[in-house]
Structures are given as C-alpha cells and as structure tokens.
Amino acid sequence: MRNATATDQVVIRAFHFRVGSPPTARPRGIPSRSGSVELWPGIHLEDLYVRPEARGGVGRRLLAHLAALAVRRGCARLEWWVLRTNDPALRFYRRLRARSLDEIDVLRLDGDALRTLADGA
C-alpha cells in the first residue's frame, strides 16, 4: 500500500455557471469536482448547487459539462453522493439515467473513533 503525500496527483476544481453578461451575472449553479486518474479513472462530483430560481435546465447543463470533460479525459465514470432523503435530487439524477450503487457503503470516522485512530498514528 502506498502512502498519500502532498505530491500525489489529486485534482480539485470548481467552476461557476453564469447566465447573463459578466460582471453583473450572478452564478446560477456551482459544481465542484475532484478526481485522480492515477487512483481511478473518473470524476467525483463533490457538490452541485443550483439556485432555486435557476432550476429547470442548469443542473443538467452542469452535469453534461462534467460528463463531456470525463469523456474527453478518457474517464470511465462520473459519480457523486446524494442523501437517500433528497427525493427531488434522486428523481432528477434518475432521469439522467444515473444509478445507485449497491456494492459500496459510505463509511465515516468521527468523534471518539476518529481521535482514537489518530492517537495511534
């Protein structure tokens, strides 16, 4: 197993999607993404936010931009997390043909468990 270092190729990017003429245009949506081609061939969408008044196409355009970026870079996938209780987002993503993964669980260390593990470093 290789230890992660500050020189590892982890890419984190964010961009704003604006409607109107800069500099007066307000951001309509903000996705941020990260990924490392060295670790896995894909882009992980960290956050996607679209202002309520801008919904109705902006989210799809933002995801289409990231999908095109993934395809251009030879990535095999675009993935993200969504709360199981976020029904509007789940409906939106399913309309795009995104699928839920059964083969992974999201795990978290926090509180005492986090401090206990950190003490053993």
Map out the domains of the chain with their CATH numbers: 11-119 (3.40.630.30)
Structure confidence by residue, pLDDT tens digits, 66-119: 899 889 988 889 999 999 999 999 999 999 999 999 998 888 999 999 999 999
This prediction's pTM: 0.65
Q: Which of 69, 63, 15 is nearest to 37 (CA)?
A: 69
Task: Dig out the tokens for 46 from the structure.
Answer: 């960290």
Q: Which of 30, 40, 28 is nearest to 79 (CA)?
A: 40
